[in-house]
């Protein structure tokens, strides 16, 4: 009897774990995590970590290195990207800017400047849809339009970094985009900065960033935020004083030994 109860318990444990994993792989994921604090890394949990690793996706780097990866989402221009670029140039900090079709069409000169000054343009899709609700073919079209427009405007012909619109993904979208040569770049540091009518001053941005920062952080800031633009110089200088360095996503690929996005699973 005891043996039967033990076997039954093991079976139900296995069944629950298998179904939990299947649920994660089949469902739409609204990206989220437990925020970092006191220099400790943010954590998304083992199930998400395993899913992202399967497709070469990432949201943070090595916990032992005080290295940061600065990224911006540029859905549209709100008058602050120029100031952001000025700060990055003065502080010699590389960044990645994930752009939409709207941004490329409405702010072509800024897109050109981003590449001219050594930063990376990443793909944020043409129309910013929830990619879990569109077909594989539509996903390809969304991404290809951004890549082609970027190449025509800036001369950046290669594009391998993707940030999913709205932070929504699934195993299908991870697989489809990986097949197209893309790696999902998520994030481990962010705050509610995109609401342009609820800006609270540079210190609000500064405090939110500094409270969450941790070794290996992939930092997500929205370029539409005045608070971010006003806080960025002090954020960078103070983090440098604290021993952090800023590296590009290309450097991340080398440090973390992630292979080029070729099907390997």
Give the active site residue among 128, 222, 227, 230. Answer: 222
Instruction: Decide if 222 is catalytic.
Output: yes
Q: State the pairing for strand pair 168-169/29-30.
A: antiparallel
Name every residue whose Cβ is closer than 8 Å to that of residue 102 and which is 6 or more positions away in sequence: 75, 76, 128
Please answer whether residues 202 and 231 qualify as being in contact, where contact means their C-beta atoms are separated by less than 8 angstroms. Answer: yes
Instruction: Decide if 184 is catalytic.
Output: no
Please answer whether residues 161 and 249 qualify as being in contact, where contact means their C-beta atoms are separated by less than 8 angstroms. Answer: yes
Quick one: tokens of 245? Answer: 């360095």
Give the active site residue among 73, 193, 227, 230. Answer: 73
What is the Cβ-side half-sphere exposure of residue 197, based on CA atoms within 13 angstroms?
0
Q: How many whole angstroms separate alpha carbon 85 and alpha carbon 97?
A: 11
Q: Which residues are annotated as catalytic?
A: 73, 222
């Amino acid at each position: 009897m005891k043996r039967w109860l033990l076997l039954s318990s093991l079976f139900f444990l296995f069944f629950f774990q298998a179904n939990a994993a299947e649920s994660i792989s089949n469902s739409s994921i609204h990206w989220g995590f437990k925020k970092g604090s006191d220099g400790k890394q943010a954590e998304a949990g083992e199930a998400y970590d395993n899913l992202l690793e399967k497709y070469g996706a990432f949201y943070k780097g090595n916990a032992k290195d005080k290295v940061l990866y600065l990224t911006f989402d540029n859905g549209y221009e709100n008058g602050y990207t120029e100031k952001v670029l000025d700060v990055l140039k003065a502080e010699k900090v590389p960044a990645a800017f994930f752009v939409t079709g709207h941004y490329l069409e409405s702010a072509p000169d800024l897109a050109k400047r981003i590449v001219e000054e050594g930063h990376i343009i990443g793909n944020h899709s043409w129309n910013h849809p929830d990619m879990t609700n569109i077909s594989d073919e539509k996903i390809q079209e969304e991404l290809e339009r951004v890549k082609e427009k970027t190449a025509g405007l800036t001369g950046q012909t290669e594009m391998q970094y993707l940030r999913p619109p709205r932070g929504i993904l699934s195993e299908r979208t991870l697989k489809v985009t990986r097949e197209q040569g893309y790696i999902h770049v998520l994030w481990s540091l962010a705050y509610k900065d995109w609401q342009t009518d609820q800006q609270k001053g540079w210190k609000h941005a500064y405090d939110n960033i500094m409270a969450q920062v941790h070794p290996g952080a992939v930092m997500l800031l929205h370029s539409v935020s005045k608070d971010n633009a006003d806080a960025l110089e002090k954020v960078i200088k103070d983090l440098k004083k604290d021993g952090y360095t800023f590296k590009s996503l290309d450097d991340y690929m080398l440090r973390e030994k992630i292979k080029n996005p070729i099907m390997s699973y």
